[in-house]
């Protein structure tokens, strides 16, 4: 391989985040850094076996993946190189193939093109974040300390696309699907490479948007959580009178769905639909939802006879809690949906296709299907720069002491008719605010009230 290793490289320690590694390409995250991370990962994984490596389409992902493979093999690890894939395919591989010791995905997900990153998991798709290995890996990289190895690992080129399509289809009632006209926006991300293999199995006529792989994201940021990134697909659905649309983020582990009127379905409503669906399949099951998520999710789970359990925000915490409680599904406000039958891992493709299956079984239009879940007025998450985030959260705790409070993750305060959650950022002087109410009028009143307190200099 052509990648070298610079023992004098500078490590920007801030690239080690809570759930993955992410930084500016070429300066913070270089091939040298990727190689060092891979050596540390190879040493850290507690079991023998190959490591699966995948990558997205960013301009330097191939170089970084090459460095990762070099680092793993230098430490004696064999590698399955599965090439250009979605992140959920790496998790799936580490779960499906028992001989694998873990997985590495080179991606910065939905971040702009100047970024890249590395996501990690262990055997069985167990996550590797700050609470489960990532800090050990960081320490090894910073101290430049690795185990001696007298073996060079072997590299095997593999394709798991067919297995991944088969896995996705296990969540779909194929006989119920009817010939539909749909739009799919891949956002120049990895869904553009993988969705066509699934499309061959579906009775759909697909209008494609931005399927060309391009890590510079020339058309829009690949993030279906942001309404502004869905303008083109919404317009296409309206102009061509399509049945619905699907949109994906850069690495394909999040997906959104848009109704036949060109209106995006909010993530909590997607979660509520999924919850009701899985509780029909597994009555009484446990389903998790993070502390920021709309109460429509809790309401739906309980109405369907399931056990609703709140969780902290973040994939590591959610996946660990799912395993502990044997939860069938977990729902995160950011649009990550985790499935027990997908090795407790998240998948954008599985999430949207499961909803497509529900839609087909219902015989309704998507705009009709979501009506029962449109119960609450919910604000988009607000981010505020503050001098002292901890002090600001404490101020809110005192100001709203007459509400029902808990501190599972940040501060959540419940009142009759409305509630809010405020959390401190792990990496910046920010507080993140989520507010929901029974009516739009109450929502706007309370959002303005909370904003005044947070922005005050007191």
- Which residues does the annotation mark as catalytic? 109
User: Rounded CA gap, 338 and 345, in Å?
Assistant: 5
β-strand pairing of 411-415 with 404-406: antiparallel
Angle, helix 161-169 to helix 87-96, in steps of 10 degrees? 90
**b/e for 376-413, b at 16 or more Cβ within 10 A?**
bbbbeeeebebeebeebbebbeeebeebeeeeebbbbb
Angle, helix 31-44 to helix 61-74, in steps of 10 degrees? 40
**b/e for 77-93, b at 16 or more Cβ within 10 A?**
bbbbbbbbbbbbbbbbb
Q: What is the DSSP string of 5-70?
A: --TTPPP-GGGB-SSSEEEEBTTTB-HHHHHHHHHHHHHH-SS-S-EEEEE-SSTTHHHHHHHHHH
Contacts of residue 204, defined as CB under 8 A and 6 or more positions apart, other chains included, come to 177, 179, 180, 181, 182
How far apart, in Å, are the Cα atoms of 419 and each of 225, 372, 384, 424? Answer: 22, 21, 18, 17
The answer to whether residues 216 and 59 touch, using CB atoms and an 8 Å cutoff, is yes
Phi, psi of 244 (to 5 degrees): -175, 175
Q: What is the DSSP string of 178-223?
A: --EEEEEE-TTSTHHHHHHHHHTTS-EEEEEES-S--TT-SSS-S-
User: Rounded CA gap, 402 and 300, in Å?
Assistant: 27
Q: How far is CA 239 from the centre of its chain?
A: 30
Neighbour count for residue 449 (Cβ, 10 Å): 14
User: Rounded CA gap, 34 and 104, in Å?
Assistant: 11
User: Rounded CA gap, 223 and 271, in Å?
Assistant: 17
Helix (H) or strand (E) holding 325: helix 315-325
């Amino acid at each position: 391989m052509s990648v070298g290793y610079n023992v004098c490289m500078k490590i920007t320690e801030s690239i080690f985040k809570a759930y993955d590694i992410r930084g500016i390409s070429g300066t913070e995250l270089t091939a040298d850094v990727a190689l060092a991370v891979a050596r540390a990962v190879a040493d850290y994984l507690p079991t023998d076996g190959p490591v699966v490596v995948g990558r997205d389409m960013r301009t330097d992902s191939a170089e970084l993946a090459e460095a990762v493979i070099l680092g793993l093999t230098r430490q004696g690890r064999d590698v399955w190189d599965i090439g250009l894939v979605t992140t959920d395919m790496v998790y799936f591989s580490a779960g499906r193939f028992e001989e694998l010791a873990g997985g590495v995905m080179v991606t910065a997900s939905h971040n702009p093109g100047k970024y890249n990153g590395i996501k990690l998991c262990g055997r069985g798709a167990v996550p590797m974040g700050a609470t489960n290995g990532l800090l050990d890996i960081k320490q090894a990289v910073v101290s430049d300390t690795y185990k001696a190895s007298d073996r060079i690992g072997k590299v095997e080129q593999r394709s798991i696309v067919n297995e991944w399509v088969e896995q996705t289809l296990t969540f779909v009632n194929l006989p119920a699907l009817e010939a539909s006209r749909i739009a799919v926006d891949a956002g120049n991300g990895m869904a553009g490479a993988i969705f066509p293999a699934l499309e061959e199995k579906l009775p759909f006529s697909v209008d494609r948007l931005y399927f060309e792989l391009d890590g510079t994201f020339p058309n829009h940021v690949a993030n279906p959580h942001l309404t502004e990134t869905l303008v083109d697909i919404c317009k296409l659905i309206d102009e061509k009178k399509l049945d619905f649309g699907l949109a994906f983020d850069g690495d394909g582990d999040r997906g959104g769905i848009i109704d036949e009127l060109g209106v995006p379905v909010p993530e909590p409503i997607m979660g509520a639909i999924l919850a009701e669906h899985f509780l029909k399949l597994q009555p009484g099951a446990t389903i998790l939802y993070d502390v920021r998520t709309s109460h429509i999710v809790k309401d739906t789970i309980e109405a369907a006879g399931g056990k609703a359990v709140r969780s902290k925000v973040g994939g590591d915490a959610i996946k660990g809690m799912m395993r502990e409680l044997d939860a069938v599904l977990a729902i995160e406000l950011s649009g990550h949906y985790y499935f027990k039958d997908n090795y407790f891992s998240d998948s954008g493709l599985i999430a949207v296709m499961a909803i497509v299956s529900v839609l087909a079984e219902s015989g309704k239009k998507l705009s009709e299907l979501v009506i029962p879940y449109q119960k609450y007025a919910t604000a988009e998450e607000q981010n505020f720069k503050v001098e002292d985030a901890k002090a600001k959260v404490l101020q809110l705790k005192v100001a709203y002491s007459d509400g029902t409070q808990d501190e599972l993750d940040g501060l959540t305060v419940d009142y009759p008719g409305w509630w809010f959650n405020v959390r401190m950022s792990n990496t910046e002087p920010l507080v993140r605010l989520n507010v929901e109410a029974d009516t739009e009028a109450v929502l706007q009143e309370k959002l303005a009230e909370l904003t005044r307190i947070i922005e005050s200099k007191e």
